[in-house]
Amino acid sequence: MLLRYWATFRPRATPLAVQLPPITVLVCFHNEALVLPDLLCTLAQLDYPDFQVLLVDDRSSDEGGQQAQEWAQSVPVPVQVLAISETPPGWSPRKWALAEGLKAVTTHWVVLTDADCRVPANWLTHFAEAMDPQADILLGSGAYQVGGGLLGQAIAYDTLHTATLYMAAAHCHMPYMGVGRSMAIDLRKVDAQSLLARCRHIASGSDDLLVQYHPHPMRVIPCPLAQSVSIAPVTWREWIARKSRHMGAAFAYKPRYKWLLAGYELAPLALAGSLLVVSSPLLWAVCLAWLVAFLLKCRGLILANKYLKMSNAPLRLCLLDIFQYFYTAVYSLCNLSPSGASWQKRTPPIAKQKTAPS
């Protein structure tokens, strides 16, 4: 899989389809009045010729629902606002909102994003470039605007590493996750509503479990340049809480993906630990194996960083890769049981920050 880091992010030209398919952009939100206007502004500036927007207001008590209604009347793009008044027993509010939104979609292709995101004008065009007849799900990337200091560097590395890993896994025909901030689904082939019903009680992980719970072999194609941008947490507590909420869905992963990710994370530590027990003739072989794996991984991250036009320095990426093992252990220990949170609490946007992919 390490070699797939290179395959995922190598430059390649993809011709745009002659006939661009109609697309629905689906956004579910709950009390997002602080950030929703920024997303709506960028959606209005999309250069894609044939798209519509479906906004699902899940019981918002702030001005978010009113903002959506006013925006729908002020733009030339077809917009539908769907208001949800209650969540049925046994359903996570976020999953119910998404399921109701998918039920109202009228196009074959739907693209998901979140209310705290902003998208570039060519966002849908990047997705359209990969919409071939064999594609079932297209995995975009989500970016964070990060601040300075160690927290900003940790978030920048973690999001880049996560994006590279799940896209490399998709290249290896082992798709295990995506990001709901930037993901396209062909509803002709993926019964997303039924898949959500299977995991309706799980608070988080709608994107991951949609990818994993599909009952038939499907083709999941990475689209790294179809990238959205959101505001990163500004404190360690907020970041660990967000990671813990995302990790809450990991308990529902299929066993093979649990083993895959556990093996990926533990393999370097196992190699390092073997230095304490192997005999002298094998010591150099173990050190060489660890060094080759580390350099291959760093090479893949550097290529991904360049492909996505990020500003991380190569040496910093290599150092943060070592730090990541300790960092992962901390937030894993903070999340030994599934999180009950569904919608995250919103903090005011922070301006003038750097961008890191996810």
Strand ranges, E, within the chain: 23-29, 51-58, 79-84, 109-114, 117-118, 137-146, 183-186, 220-231, 354-357
Q: What is the radius of gyration, based on Cα positions, of the chain?
A: 20
- Give 109's strand partners: 23, 186
CA distances from 270 to 184, 289, 292 (A): 37, 11, 15
| Locus of tokens 């194996």 | 289
Give the pLDDT score at 120: 95
Residue 311 structure tokens: 């500003």
3.40.50.720, 2.60.40.1180, 3.30.365.10, 3.90.550.10: which CATH number matches 2-257+337-352? 3.90.550.10
Query: What's the confidence (pLDDT) of residue 349?
Result: 47
User: pLDDT means per 10 residues in the chain (358 residues)?
Assistant: 51 55 96 94 95 96 94 94 92 92 95 95 93 88 82 83 85 86 92 86 82 76 88 85 76 83 74 66 72 79 76 64 64 50 52 50
> Given this model, what pLDDT does residue 196 score?
87
Tell me how far apart the alpha carbons of residues 275 and 282 are, in angstroms, rounded to a whole number: 9
User: Six-digit token pair at 297?
Assistant: 């991984």
**Residue indicated by tokens 């292709």:** 109
Q: Which stretches of 198-334 are assigned E, i.e. beta strand?
A: 220-231
* Other CB atoms within 10 A of residue 181 CB: 23
**pLDDT of res. 145:** 84
For residue 94, the Cα-to-chain-centroid distance in whole angstroms is 16
Cβ–Cβ under 8 Å, residues 202 and 252: yes
Q: Is the dihedral of CA 209, 212, 216, 221 positive or negative?
A: positive
Tokens at 137, concatenated: 């799900």
